[in-house]
Structure 1
């Protein structure tokens, strides 16, 4: 299930509830239970969620509602996923070294010119 998140900097709690299908009181409860997200507050003390917060809410919703995790289990799953990046983003040491070597060769070539 893919959700379209509008392209803007901040979202009010009602907007987040509408986008994610999670009621505002549940969002406030999740803030207290999961240290992973804590929206900033405006001068008028309204919560200001960012896109990353909405993505986290969607992840929590999936863990709790679809996969049947408990709050404690979802907390552990979030901690575990934080430590490991998706496979597409991970590079081996060899790949990093090859990139560095290429960059150094390009730099040397520019200096020699």
Structure 2
């Protein structure tokens, strides 16, 4: 899944949910389930996610939504070989960015 977010230091939960096309409740749920998601909270208690959190959400989203892992299976996979998963996700991200660019060029030609 190609996520098109502007480069910022922090993202609000609504921005993250919209980018991943999920409900904010799922973002909060994954935050509680996965230790790799650690948003900062402002004085009001609003969650502020870093770009690192977004990358971790991409990993989780890929494992759970795209590859069909259960939450426990995704947790185990992340603990077993996190380096390989990160490398695979980086390759997927690059390919999706190329695909998005090619689609944009195709639409301009037509």
User: TM-score surpassing 0.5?
Assistant: yes
- Residues 81, 5 of structure 1: alpha-carbon distance in 2 compared, 3 angstrom cutoff: farther
Give the match for residue 20 of structure 1: 20
Q: Quick check: which has more Rg, 1 or 2?
A: 1
Which region of structure 1 is more displaced relative to structure 2, 23-32 or 74-83?
A: 74-83
Q: Distance in 2 between matches of 1:81 and 1:24?
A: 28
Unaligned 5+ residue runs, structure 2? 89-110
| Shift, 1:20, TM fit | 1.4
The superposition leaves residues 55-105 of structure 1 with CA deviations (integer Å, 9 ceiling, x where unpaired) of: 111221111111110001100111223355749xxxxxxxxxxxxxxxxxx
Give the match for residue 44 of structure 2: 44
What TM-score do the two structures reach when normalised by structure 1? 0.69
| Shift, 1:34, TM fit | 0.7
Give the match for residue 29 of structure 1: 29
Q: Distance in 1 between matches of 2:5 and 2:65?
A: 20
What TM-score do the two structures reach when normalised by structure 2? 0.70
C-alpha RMSD of matched pairs (Å): 1.8
Q: Distance in 2 between matches of 1:56 and 1:20?
A: 12
Unaligned 5+ residue runs, structure 1? 88-113
Question: Which structure carries more relative contact order (alpha carbon 8 Å, separation 6+)?
Answer: 2
1:29 is paired with a residue of what secondary structure?
Answer: helix
Where has structure 1 moved over 3 Å in runs of 4 or more?
A: 83-87
Q: Distance in 1 between matches of 2:31 and 2:55?
A: 14
